[in-house]
């Protein structure tokens, strides 16, 4: 049975007011109590179905804007003003709540059954000394297409010919994929100019010889390890079956001065946006169903992602089933 943490929001999106978003095909409201703890509920009032995200937080509860019903972090109505503060509210007055976790300035949502036993994973080699800049944008593509674009090592000289794909390195050796644990893998890139040489298989290569490597944490975190002091991180958030919100961060630890590194990160974002838009121009033309693809050796990171994806029945039902 599928149970996993999805990175779904940047922490700075949830401040004092409730925030309504669509994630994984569900309309949700995120809000904070007076101590800053984040909660997630279905975004409707059980009474007359008004949006809770249009309400406000009062007494560490979220209040419906229509008739003032107050919900706690578990989704239970604790006050119905019209019936008085001493009225004992029946248990049927409740909406679904979802476990959330916050770290690394990311809010994770639990997609699964029961209570989570572990906290979500982030990249071990990005610490608090890194500064970062971030932007996000909505793509009209299903979640697997958005993820797989960043696992694709063959597209660079074609899609990014004028930016990171310069040099016409169209020949793809390997690539080498190394699983770290059941949810994380690193892949090493060995691309070069085609001079008629034989393409090497992954077992003929050593990951340590690659100058370029990337990391993926299932289900939706990706890192391009550019150097010890610069990283590009993305998380791909399923809005519904057809749309994905992409968050992209540029992490910098270069000068030893975090405010200066923050400026460097912000100045780097226009180029990162250009590169991402080069991807978007092509990816939004792809047919949506990944199951019709015919893959080749250079798609090995994509193949490994799909092997892991197909183990998750609930996620597969969401991505390829009916409705939503």
pLDDT category of residue 2 using cuts at 50, 70 and 90: low
What is the percentage of the chain residues whose pLDDT exceeds 70? Answer: 98
Which of the listed CATH numbers 2.40.50.140, 3.40.1160.10, 2.102.10.10, 3.40.718.10 matches domain 3-112?
Answer: 2.102.10.10
Cβ 299 vs Cβ 305: under 8 Å: no
Rounded to an integer, the average pLDDT of 101-111 is 97
Rounded to an integer, the average pLDDT of 22-41 is 98
pLDDT tens-digit map of 224-244: 999 999 999 999 999 999 999
Average pLDDT in the chain: 95
Cβ 41 vs Cβ 28: under 8 Å: yes
Q: Is the pLDDT of residue 19 over 50?
A: yes
**Tokens (6 digits) for 2:** 């599928």
pLDDT category of residue 324 using cuts at 50, 70 and 90: very low
pLDDT category of residue 322 using cuts at 50, 70 and 90: low
The pLDDT of residue 1: 43
Q: How far apart are the first and last CA of the chain?
A: 20
Per residue in 133-162, is it b (16+ CB within 10 Å) or e — as a string?
A: bbeeeebebbbbbbbbbbbbbbebbebeee
What is the percentage of the chain residues whose pLDDT exceeds 90? Answer: 93
Residue at token pair 């000394």: 129
Cβ 221 vs Cβ 123: under 8 Å: yes
pLDDT tens-digit map of 253-288: 999 999 999 999 999 999 999 999 999 999 999 999
Q: Is the pLDDT of residue 323 over 80?
A: no
The pLDDT of residue 194: 96
Rounded to an integer, the average pLDDT of 10-30 is 97
pLDDT tens-digit map of 182-225: 999 999 999 999 999 999 999 999 877 787 899 999 999 999 99
Rounded to an integer, the average pLDDT of 32-44 is 98
pLDDT tens-digit map of 66-81: 999 999 999 999 999 9
CATH architecture of 131-320: Alpha-Beta Complex (3.90)
- Name the nearest CA neighbour of 197 among 171, 222, 236: 171
How is the chain split into domains, by residue range?
3-112, 131-320
* Enclosing H/E stretch for 230: strand 230-238
Cβ 49 vs Cβ 83: under 8 Å: no
pTM for this model (two decimals): 0.93
Q: Is the pLDDT of residue 112 over 90?
A: no
Rounded to an integer, the average pLDDT of 152-181 is 96
Q: CA angle, 172 as apex, 168 and 176 as ends, to 5°?
A: 140
């Amino acid at each position: 049975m599928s149970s996993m943490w999805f990175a779904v929001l940047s922490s700075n999106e949830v401040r004092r007011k409730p925030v309504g978003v669509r994630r994984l095909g569900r309309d949700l409201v995120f809000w904070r109590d007076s101590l800053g703890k984040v909660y997630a509920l279905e975004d409707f009032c059980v009474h007359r179905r008004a949006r809770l995200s249009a309400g406000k937080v009062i007494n560490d509860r979220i209040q419906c804007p229509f008739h003032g019903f107050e919900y706690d972090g578990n989704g239970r109505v604790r006050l119905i003003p019209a019936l008085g503060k001493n009225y004992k509210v029946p248990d049927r007055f409740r909406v679904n709540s979802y476990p959330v976790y916050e770290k690394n300035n990311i809010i994770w949502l639990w997609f699964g059954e029961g209570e989570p036993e572990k906290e979500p994973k982030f990249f071990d080699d990005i610490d608090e000394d890194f500064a970062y800049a971030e932007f996000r944008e909505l793509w009209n593509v299903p979640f697997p297409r958005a993820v797989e674009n960043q696992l694709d090592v063959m597209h660079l000289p074609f899609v990014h010919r004028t930016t990171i794909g310069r040099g016409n390195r169209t020949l793809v050796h390997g690539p080498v994929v190394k699983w770290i644990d059941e949810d994380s893998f690193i892949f090493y890139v060995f691309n070069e100019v085609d001079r008629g040489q034989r393409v090497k298989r992954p077992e003929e290569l050593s990951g340590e010889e690659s100058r370029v490597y990337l990391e993926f944490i299932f289900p939706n975190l990706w890192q391009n390890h550019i150097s010890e002091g610069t990283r590009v991180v993305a998380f791909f958030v399923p809005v519904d079956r057809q749309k994905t919100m992409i968050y992209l961060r540029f992490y910098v630890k270069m000068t030893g001065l975090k405010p200066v590194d923050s400026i460097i990160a912000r100045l780097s974002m226009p180029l990162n946006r250009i590169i991402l838009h080069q991807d978007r121009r092509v990816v939004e033309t792809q047919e949506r169903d990944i199951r019709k693809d015919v893959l080749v050796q250079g798609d090995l990171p994509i193949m490994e992602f799909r092997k892991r994806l197909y183990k998750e029945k609930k996620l597969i039902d969401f991505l390829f089933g009916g409705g939503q």
